């Protein structure tokens, strides 16, 4: 199974580590190059300083060098070396060369004003670097006029100068930098992984807490269905959807719990009556007075149980699938037929549309819906109070039937939410023998099967209205 925690940790660690490695390698190469360039610049600066000590005048070329100011060219402690060639011969060299068997620096053939840097082994055996350059000695400004008046504009002989110094400190510095970067390459990815893993764990802590809350959620436990909360914006949509899902499921749980209790109550009473009748019949066999009432009571009890079971099966059947809508139905004609079949005369039908209201639907389902709504209005309405049936269309052009009646008892807003639940009755003691609380549930199931919508509204303290809005033909 894929793990978000491991995937985030792995990908972030690898990505950041690769970036760090690339940056470190680039920095290592850059620093090494910079150190080498600075060292070579130091060689050029030093050889340029030695060049400035060579002067040419009428008497010839002289090297104005003072050893007391340049002890590195005289002592044996970390000595440096220089050597000059003029007209193919050694013109001058540092006293530090005389301290060793190899007392000369290698000569290099160069073009004029050319400078060449090479790695060599110094006379003292250390690793070093040498720079050769070929140039024409300078003429002092105060001697320049006299020099050219005597010699004229003739080509002067060039001089080759070499300067060599040790690279041990340079090599140590480069090795130290490389080792430091190598250690960084090892330590930083480990630190990155540690930081990323702890950061990911910290960031996913609210998700872990939410998971633990979900794991401990129990509908059967008291006060354990409360909604979750979070202060993480990314989890807010998930928590909101989860709370909606939990509330819906808890409502379904309570509904099923109540339905189970209501079914048990509705069936327990007739079963108890059957048992009592059977016990009486067994106690008084052949009693003619019992025979007159015994069979009709059993039939009545059996029919009640059959009606309850048939209603529940009908709800279950139409809650699971859609019904074919193959019938063209004139609402006014259907309403008139159903009203005519009821043995009451207080139903008023009002057509809000001048033309006929026709729908494509299932005739049996629509007839059953309207018949159950009328039965509900007749049963629970006040005797002789008018029942109003309105036929019309919504502003969007959908056909609509509205049944309004006056109730025996005042209906609360909380009652409206339970009216379409199976076996729900306003009378909690369930004293009625003719009503089971299934009529409106059947209406709701059939409306769902044909794509219609049923709603209930409280008009005032004792008037209630049921509206069925049919799906507009496509």
What's the CATH code of the domain at 375? 3.30.565.10
- Domain boundary residue, one of 287, 320, 353: 320
User: Maximum distance among all alpha carbons in the chain?
Assistant: 170
Does residue 198 belong to any structural domain of this protein? no
Residue 134 has a pLDDT of 92
Asked whether residue 43 is assigned to any structural domain, the reply reads: yes
- Could you tell me if 302 and 365 lie in one domain? no
Report, in angstroms and rounded to the nearest whole number, the Rg of the chain calculated over CA atoms: 54
Backbone angles phi, psi at 91, to 5 degrees: -95, -40
Q: Show Cβ contacts of residue 187 under 8 Å, excluding neighbours closer than 6 positions.
A: none
What digits encode the pLDDT tens for the residues 144-156?
777 766 776 767 8
Residue 3 resides in a domain: no
Confidence tier at 473 by pLDDT (50, 70, 90): low
Distance CA 473, CA 357 (A): 12
Residue 145, in any domain of the structure: yes
Is pLDDT of 407 > 70? yes
For 347, the enclosing helix (H) or strand (E) is strand 347-351
Residue 232 lies in a domain: no
345 or 171, higher pLDDT:
171
Crossing angle between the packed helical segments 205-216 and 168-203, to the nearest 10 degrees: 30
> In this predicted model, which residue has the larger pLDDT, 375 or 297?
375
> For residue 213, is it within any domain?
no
Q: What is the pLDDT of residues 265-307, one digit of tens each?
A: 666 777 777 787 777 777 767 666 666 666 777 777 777 677 6
356 and 299, same structural domain?
A: no
Has residue 442 been placed in a domain? yes
Last residue of a domain, one of 149, 174, 199: 174
Average pLDDT over the chain reads 81
Do 297 and 354 fall into the same domain? no
Do 392 and 427 lie in one domain? The reply is yes
Q: Please report which confidence band the pLDDT of residue 39 belongs to, taking 50, 70 and 90 as the band edges.
A: very high
Indicate if 169 and 32 belong to the same structural domain.
yes
Q: How confident is the model at residue 106 (pLDDT cuts 50, 70, 90)?
A: very high
Do 309 and 379 share a domain, yes or no? no
More confident residue, 232 or 186: 186
| pLDDT over 70 (residue 359) | yes
Domain membership of residue 182 (yes or no) is no
Task: Tell whether 269 and 349 lie within a shared domain.
Answer: no
Q: Do 384 and 346 reside in the same domain of the chain? A: yes
My answer on whether 256 and 295 are in the same domain is: yes
Is residue 423 a contact partner of residue 259, using CB atoms and an 8 Å limit?
A: yes
Look at residue 315 in the predicted model and tell me its pLDDT. 61
- Structural domain including 405 reads 327-469
Number of domains the chain is built from: 3
């Amino acid at each position: 199974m894929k793990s978000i925690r491991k995937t985030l940790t792995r990908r972030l660690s690898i990505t950041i580590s690769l970036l760090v490695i690339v940056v470190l390698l680039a920095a290592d190469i850059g620093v090494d190059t910079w150190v080498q360039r600075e060292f070579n610049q130091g060689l050029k600066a030093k050889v340029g300083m030695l060049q400035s000590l060579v002067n040419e005048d009428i008497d010839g070329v002289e090297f104005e060098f003072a050893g007391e100011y340049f002890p590195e060219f005289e002592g044996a402690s970390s000595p440096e070396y220089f050597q000059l060639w003029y007209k193919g011969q050694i013109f001058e060299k540092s006293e530090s060369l005389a301290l060793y068997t190899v007392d000369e620096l290698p000569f290099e053939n160069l073009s004029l004003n050319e400078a060449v840097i090479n790695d060599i082994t110094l006379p003292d055996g250390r690793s070093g670097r040498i720079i050769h350059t070929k140039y024409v000695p300078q003429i002092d400004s105060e001697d320049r006029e006299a020099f050219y008046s005597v010699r004229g504009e003739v080509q002067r002989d060039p001089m080759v100068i070499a300067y060599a110094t040790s690279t041990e400190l340079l090599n140590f510095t480069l090795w130290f930098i490389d080792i430091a970067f190598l250690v960084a390459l090892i330590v930083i990815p480990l630190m990155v992984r540690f930081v990323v893993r702890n950061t990911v764990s910290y960031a996913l802590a609210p998700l872990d807490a939410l998971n633990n809350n979900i794991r401990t959620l129990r509908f059967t436990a008291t006060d354990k269905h409360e909604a979750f909360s979070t202060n993480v914006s990314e989890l807010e949509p998930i928590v909101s959807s989860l709370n909606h899902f939990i509330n819906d499921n808890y409502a379904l749980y309570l509904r099923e719990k109540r339905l189970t209790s209501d079914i048990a109550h509705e069936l327990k009473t007739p079963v108890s009556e059957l048992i009592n009748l059977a016990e009486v019949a067994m106690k008084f066999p052949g009693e003619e007075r019992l025979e007159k009432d015994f069979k009709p009571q059993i039939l009545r009890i059996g029919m009640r149980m059959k009606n309850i079971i048939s209603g529940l099966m009908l709800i279950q059947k139409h809650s699971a699938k859609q019904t074919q809508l193959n019938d063209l139905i004139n609402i006014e004609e259907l309403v008139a037929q159903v009203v005519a079949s009821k043995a009451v005369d207080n139903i008023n039908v009002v057509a809000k549309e001048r033309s006929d209201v026709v729908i494509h639907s299932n005739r049996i389902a629509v007839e059953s819906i309207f018949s159950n709504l009328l039965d509900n209005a007749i049963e629970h309405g006040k005797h002789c109070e008018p029942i109003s049936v309105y036929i019309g269309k919504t502003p969007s052009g959908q056909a609509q039937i509205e049944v309004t009646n006056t109730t025996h008892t005042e209906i609360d807003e909380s009652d409206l939410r339970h009216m379409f639940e199976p076996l729900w009755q306003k009378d909690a003691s369930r004293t009625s023998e003719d009503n089971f609380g299934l009529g409106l549930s059947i209406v709701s199931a059939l409306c769902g099967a044909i794509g219609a919508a049923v709603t209930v509204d409280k008009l005032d303290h004792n008037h209630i209205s049921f509206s069925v809005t049919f799906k507009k033909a496509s």
